[in-house]
Amino acid sequence: MNTRAVSLYSLFLFLLLHLINSLDTLGPNDTMKDGNVLISRQRKFALGFFSPGYSSLHYVGIWYYGLLEQTLVWAANREIPVNDTSGVLPFYHYGSLVIRENIVSFPIWSTNVSSMTSENSTTAQLLDSGNLVLNHYLTKVVIWQSFHYPTDTFLPYMKLQLDKRTGLNRFVTSWKSEDDPALGSCSFRFEPTGYPLFFLYKDRAPYWQGGPTIERLDGGVHKKAYDFVFSNITTVNNAMEVSIMCGVGNASVIVRIVVHESRSVKHFTWHDEEQQWSEFAYYPKEQCDYYSKCGPNKNCGANNADQLDCTCLPGFEPKSPGNWYLRDGSGRCKRRQGASLCRSGEGFVKVKQLKWPDTSTAHVDMSLSMKECEQACLRDCNCTAYSSANKSMREHGCLKCSV
């Protein structure tokens, strides 16, 4: 083979690889090998095999395309990696996308769906939202999507969802480490009982409590700054599901929310000028943000240096006053004598700047005003406190907390 022939062959090979890397769709007879990538139509996201951090193991994932820092947003086989570069991503019988360690091995991961029609009737497409979807070739019906199986990253137009009928809970879970995308110990999800709240869990125990579903997913971020990033926030809370989905206020803004193994939820935006990610917000922020920091019947947050971080709520007093005198506020708070009487002319004390309590036994009636809410709580001897169920509605929406 002469030099000219080698040059023509190299040019043909380059053009072929460029063509493969520019496609956003896998067809029924296509097989993606380690080294090939899908790129979304507007070149915002890429899908292919990757090795995280210092690991030599290989996974199929989705990352932002064109950024200096490869930033993963989804991983398919996060629990079962491929040991080397022989991995392939082909279609299986009747429409499932699978990962194999080599072209003849058994699948180690699968979308586990069927087009229910015939073979060669499914295509896989990477969208500019970062969502990988499996479409029926003729009807274009989506039969599977990666947004339904998030890993550690919540993206715009992805839905966090709790199906009340089936109990299915779609949530994000941290990577085990920077080098290992396997399931970590932290997850960000809806609490399935009571009035829906966001919780950050650590080893299946509540670690941080967010706001109610119907409010913004902002963790206390300044509203104007938050609305610049997110808009078109859609919340659903009915008999079938609880869900939230956020859009972006500016299409040029790249934003993501990540659950970290360090027991935190962080918001990031990408800055083109600096070519780096900027942490926009995070939580928990302070000691009083942690779930059950002070325990039952207490308020976290001293108003001055002479007070303890944890103080008893109005109507309660330290069970061991001596310990509190020694500035040990870890003891329990007991109800003051006579404060537990019901329907004896009692009333309420307004306590400001408190996060909602655990609402697993709460009752919500969005039709009631605050005055009606107060009267309903007074008539119910199990009701210990009440609050607005929706700050944006101000005087309407009643949440009653029971013992």
Phi-psi region at 127: left, alpha or beta (left = phi > 0; alpha = psi -120 to 50):
beta
Looking at residue 200, its amino acid is L
pLDDT in tens, 131-175: 999 988 777 789 999 999 999 999 999 999 988 888 888 999 999
Q: List the pLDDT tens digit at each of the 403 positions of the chain.
A: 443 333 333 444 444 444 444 489 998 888 999 999 999 999 999 999 999 999 999 999 999 999 988 999 999 999 999 999 999 999 876 778 999 998 888 999 999 886 555 566 789 999 999 999 998 877 778 999 999 999 999 999 999 998 888 888 899 999 999 999 999 999 998 877 777 778 899 998 889 887 654 444 554 444 444 455 667 778 888 888 888 888 887 778 899 999 999 999 999 999 888 889 999 888 888 778 888 777 778 888 755 555 667 888 888 888 777 666 556 656 778 888 766 667 777 788 888 777 777 777 788 888 899 899 999 998 888 888 898 876 655 567 888 887 6
The CA distance from 187 to 173, in Å, is 4
**Pairing label, strands 316-318, 310-312:** unpaired
What pLDDT is stored for residue 176 in this prediction? 97
Q: Are 283 and 270 in contact (CB under 8 A)?
A: no
**Residues linked to residue 279 through DSSP beta bridges, in sequence order:** 268
Please give the CATH number for the structural domain made up of 17-116. 2.90.10.10
Domain ranges of the chain: 17-116, 150-291, 293-340, 341-403
pLDDT at position 78: 96
270, β-bridge pairs = 277
Entry pTM: 0.83
pLDDT at 212 (0 to 100): 57
Please give the pLDDT value at position 341.
Answer: 67
User: For residues 236 and 390, what is the distance between their CA atoms, to the nearest angstrom?
Assistant: 14
pLDDT of residue 272: 86
**Residue 87: which of 72, 75, 98 has the closest Cα?**
98
Give pLDDT tens digits for 320-339.
776 665 566 567 788 887 66
Which of 263, 264, 233 minimizes the C-alpha distance to 246?
233
Token pair listed for 296: 């039952």
- What pLDDT, on a 0 to 100 scale, did the predictor assign at position 151? 97
The answer to whether 318 and 325 have CB atoms below 8 angstroms apart is: no
Residue 152 contacts residue 227 (beta carbons within 8 Å): no
Whole-number Å distance between alpha carbons of 280 and 260: 15
